[in-house]
Structure 1
Amino acid sequence: MSRTRITPQDAGITPRSVTRRDALRLFIAAGLCTTLFPGIASAETTQEKLDAAQLSYDQAQEELDRIAAEYEKIATQLSATTAKVADVSGQIEEKQAQIDQKQDEIDQKQLEIEHKQGVLGDRMSASYKAGPLSTLDLLLSSATFDEFTSNIYYLDKVTESDREMIDEVRQLKAELEEEKAELETQKAELEEQKAELEELQEEQRAQLEEARAKQIESQELVDNLSAEVQELMEKRDAELLAAQQLAEQMQQQGGSRPSGGHGNTVVSGSGSLARVINACYSTPSPGSGLCAAWVTNVFQNAGIGSFWGNADDMYYSWCGTSPSNAQPGMIVAVNVSPDSAAGRIYGHIGVCIDSGTVMDNIGYIRTTSLSSWVSHYSALATPLCGWLGGVKLS
């Protein structure tokens, strides 16, 4: 039996981007490390080789399940942290906007007070310039404007309009002080949120490093498997794919499953958003387990750019918005999926074709509601949306 090695590039994926079914295909053609599975090396008869292959397959599955379970725990925690980072970042933006607005209100009120004080001062100066010396002494001895207006007020020599303006200035100054105090409170809250964000980002970095280590561990296991398990892996791969497709077909009874695209559906318009939506309908499935590869192809076909990586890579890099705020053309992703061991390690991703509908690749191109998508994939992670590559479509 030949030992031709299939690389990740041959599968159309990056070095770490194998999915469970990609792993099964890679298992078939990779060289086995005899220190890990020595049974095959010592087997002599055909039956012994088959038994050894079955043993190696079972051992590999068990090991992958262990790694996937460990990764799932880390990735679920990381997803929660990522969602918190997005939430706190949103709170910071909102708080900063409130602070900017409050500062504008304070500046405007300060200008209004200064104007009214100037008008009132001119009027008082004119009214009392010819008054008794004792009155002038009293007014000139005022240390502050508040004391000045108070002295005038109680001299009982002001007109009703003067008295109203004095009251208005006092009210404005009191409001100004309240607004300044509120501004300081908001600034303190902002600093607390920024400190919380820094802590969350540090936690996120540590969790991501741990998650990447588990992904590397699973890849190394794949790289050390033997071509001796080819028949078992091919059979299992076909069974998994058939079962998945049957389940999807049953869920979509009454509908038709497209064979690599979605017919001649065309979205009108010439902008980047229309091009991406049209590409979603026209781009065929690159194969089972290649959800991120399909998304990459969609954006390449739309002329937006090339954005590589697994679903979890795109999730960490570009997703920071709740699905409740999803916009057409955004990606929606999770870093860990409940569907398979590969999904538990590399997540899943799709494209929002409108605010309530998602298209994704699950061996064929599926169209489903965003609410159903979020409900299903939130079992292990927090789904998030975002603009792939940071490119806002229009």
Structure 2
Amino acid sequence: MENVRKRLLDALAARGLLADDGEMTTYGEPAWREVPAGAEPQALMDATPVQRRLVECARGTAPMREGLCAAWVERAFSRLGMGYVSGDARDLYERFCHLTGTGDLMVGMIVAVGRAPYSADGWDHGHVGLYMGDGVVAECAGGRVRDVPLALWLSAYGVASEPRWGWIGAMALADAGPQKD
């Protein structure tokens, strides 16, 4: 992970997004966000059947075109049969994402930022992904779905605003059903 950290910090510096100390971004956010030991998010193995089914639905959801990360997440939830919650990434961030401790992150939660400085769309509408368990965030970016290690996602997208997470539509999937099949 140290090599990934160095590459990200080098890329941020090349874009002029790091403050002089290199530890903070020019937006006043940490340049790298570790997942602290003892504060690991939920593992996929510990997820409820409904949480695991959402992961399956997300894996089967086709990518959307550029700038439609929220639509991809919303479609995955819709395929689960949980209804359809609409809004752009910033709407989802402001309405449903209030947690910041990685120990509170559970499979099926949306992970979002209110501003992402890599495009005009990202700056205006933010960015959102879906926590898949085992330290992985799935996102639809650049017209494709990809898995990103949590620490890298938090660092790369947390450049301009604090990453937060929560249950879309306030639907706590972790409370839906027994822990074991």
Bigger radius of gyration among the two: 1
Residue 342 (structure 1) shift: 1.0
Q: Which residue of 2 aligns with 1:345?
A: 124
Q: Which residue of 1 aligns with 2:83?
A: 305
Q: Structure 2 CA distance, aligned partners of 1:355 and 1:310?
A: 26
The answer to whether the 8 A contact 1:323-1:383 is kept is no
Q: Structure 1 CA distance, aligned partners of 2:134 and 2:48?
A: 19
Normalising by structure 2, we get a TM-score of: 0.67
Alignment of 1:120-159 (within 5 A): none
Q: Structure 2 CA distance, aligned partners of 1:342 and 1:288?
A: 9
**Match 2:137 to one of 327, 336, 358:** 358
Q: Unaligned regions of 5+ residues in structure 1, if any?
A: 1-75, 80-266
Q: Which residue of 2 aligns with 1:292?
A: 70
Secondary structure at 1:338 match in 2? coil
Q: Which residue of 1 aligns with 2:111?
A: 332
**Match 1:314 to one of 92, 95, 114:** 92
**Match 2:50 to one of 272, 276, 292:** 272
Q: Percent identity?
A: 33
What amino acid sits opposite 1:371 in the alignment?
A
**Match 1:391 to one of 171, 177, 181:** 171
Q: Structure 2 CA distance, aligned partners of 1:377 and 1:302?
A: 27
What amino acid sits opposite 1:276 in the alignment?
L
Q: Structure 1 CA distance, aligned partners of 2:162 and 2:48?
A: 33
Q: Structure 1 CA distance, aligned partners of 2:120 and 2:92?
A: 19
**What do residues 74-94 of structure 1 show as CA deviations (whole Å, max 9, x unaligned)?**
xx79x9xxxxxxxxxxxxxxx
Report the structure, 1 or 2, having the larger strand content.
Answer: 2
Residue 271 (structure 1) shift: 3.0
**What do residues 41-65 of structure 1 show as CA deviations (whole Å, max 9, x unaligned)?**
xxxxxxxxxxxxxxxxxxxxxxxxx
Q: Structure 1 CA distance, aligned partners of 2:48 and 2:107?
A: 15
Q: Structure 2 CA distance, aligned partners of 1:338 and 1:369?
A: 19
**Match 1:283 to one of 48, 53, 61:** 61
Residue 389 (structure 1) shift: 0.6
After superposition, the Cα gap between the structure-2 partners of 1:329 and 1:270, relative to the gap in structure 1 and judged at 3 Å, is closer
Report the structure, 1 or 2, having the larger helix content.
Answer: 1
Q: Structure 1 CA distance, aligned partners of 2:64 and 2:156?
A: 23
Secondary structure at 1:359 match in 2? strand
Q: Which residue of 2 aligns with 1:30?
A: none
Secondary structure at 2:173 match in 1? coil
What amino acid sits opposite 1:349 in the alignment?
V
Alignment size in residue pairs: 130
Greater RCO, CA 8 A, separation 6+: 2
The answer to whether the 8 A contact 1:332-1:352 is kept is yes
The answer to whether the 8 A contact 2:129-2:140 is kept is yes
Alignment RMSD (CA, Å) = 2.1
The answer to whether the 8 A contact 2:48-2:173 is kept is no
Runs of 4+ in structure 1 deviating by more than 3 angstroms, as ranges, are none
Q: Structure 2 CA distance, aligned partners of 1:377 and 1:322?
A: 14
| 1:376 maps to 2:135 | no
Q: Which residue of 2 aligns with 1:219?
A: none
